[in-house]
Amino acid sequence: EVQLVESGGGLVQPGGSLRLSCAASDFTFSDYAMQWVRQAPGKGLEHISTISSNGVGTYYADSVKGRFTISRDNSKNTLYLQMGSLRADDMAVYYCATLGVATGLGDFDYWGRGTLVTVSS
Amino acid sequence: QSVLTQPPSASGTPGQRVTISCSGSSSNIGSNLVYWYQQLPGTAPKLLIYRNNQRPSGVPDRFSGSKSGTSASLAISGLRSEDEAAYYCASWDDSLRGVGFGGGTKLTVL
């Protein structure tokens, strides 16, 4: 069964940086575009970034453009999200996912359990 | 402000049929497929409906999706207590060049 396991969340001060990782297993990671979706406490879902299967193409929501960088290492089956200039409104649970709605691959839609990023002084 | 518009709450009694609406625009629902997710408290979202009205393996046929123009809806029949969750619609948005989500509808089973 497809597994996605996020790590790297934690407490960071405003203006600080953090790198999230997502370890993928039980599917051919290098064949699929990957996404990051976040959910602020008590709020809805926000698609913030996508990376193509070969890592060349990327997308960022306006809310994170210029501050966050998505990348991947297909040799390690791992997705990353480098977050910088963090603000209070970046506080959220961050999910990595293979969003069918983004890839057009229908029900090939899997989510990790998420990792919590807390931005506070 | 979410890209797609959902009612914040819905409710029903066990056995009832409930529908949740999702309103969008020509750049998202009007020209792209609609997906629905169920999120139980404290867990990650789970795919419920894909490509407007398709159910992934393991999703009961009590759940159904439909789309018309720039709107979509999720119907849950034979409501059960375990259906109490938040439900989100999603669609690709050609203007954003990303995924637009609805704000979520919290379903309460009375």
Q: Per residue in B49-106, pLDDT tens? A: 999 999 999 999 999 999 999 999 999 999 999 999 999 999 999 999 999 999 999 9
What is the pLDDT at residue B76? 98
Q: Which residues pair with A50 in a beta bridge?
A: A35, A59
The 3-state DSSP class for residue B86 equals strand
- Candidates B10, B100, B54; CA nearest to A102 is B100
Give the Cα separation of B110 and B95 in Å (integer). 39
Give the Cα separation of B43 and B103 in Å (integer). 17
Does the pLDDT value for residue A106 go beyond 90?
no
Strand order from edge to edge, sheet including B63-68:
B18-23, B71-76, B63-68
Around A95, how many Cα atoms within 13 Å sit in the side-chain half-sphere?
23
Does the pLDDT value for residue A100 go beyond 90?
no
Which of B47, B49, B95 would best serve as a mutation to test chain A binding (most A beta carbons within 10 A)?
A: B47
Confidence bin at A105 (pLDDT 50/70/90): confident
How many inter-chain contacts (A to B, CB under 8 Å) are there?
A: 60
Taking contacts as CB-CB distances below 8 angstroms, the residues of chain B near A61 are: 96, 98
- Across chain A, mean pLDDT equals 96
For residues A30-48, give the mean pLDDT.
96
Share of chain A above pLDDT 90, in %: 92
Nearest chain A residue to B36 by CA distance is A101
Q: Is B56 exposed, middle or buried (0-12, 13-18, 19+ CB in 10 A)?
A: middle
CB contact under 8 A, B96 and A113: no
For chain A, list the strands marked E by DSSP: 3-7, 10-12, 18-25, 34-39, 45-51, 58-60, 68-73, 78-83, 92-97, 115-119
- Candidates A114, A101, A118, A98; CA nearest to A21 is A114
A interface with B, Cβ–Cβ < 8 A, is: 35, 37, 44-47, 50, 59, 61, 95, 99-102, 106-107, 109, 111-114
Does the pLDDT value for residue B1 go beyond 90?
no
What is the pLDDT at residue A101? 87
What is the pLDDT at residue A104? 83
Q: Tell me the pLDDT tens digit for each residue of A41-97.
A: 999 999 999 999 999 999 999 999 999 999 999 999 999 999 999 999 999 999 999
Share of chain A above pLDDT 70, in %: 100
What is the pLDDT at residue A46? 96
Share of chain B above pLDDT 70, in %: 100
What is the pLDDT at residue B53? 97
Chain B: give the shortest CA distance to residue A94, in Å.
10
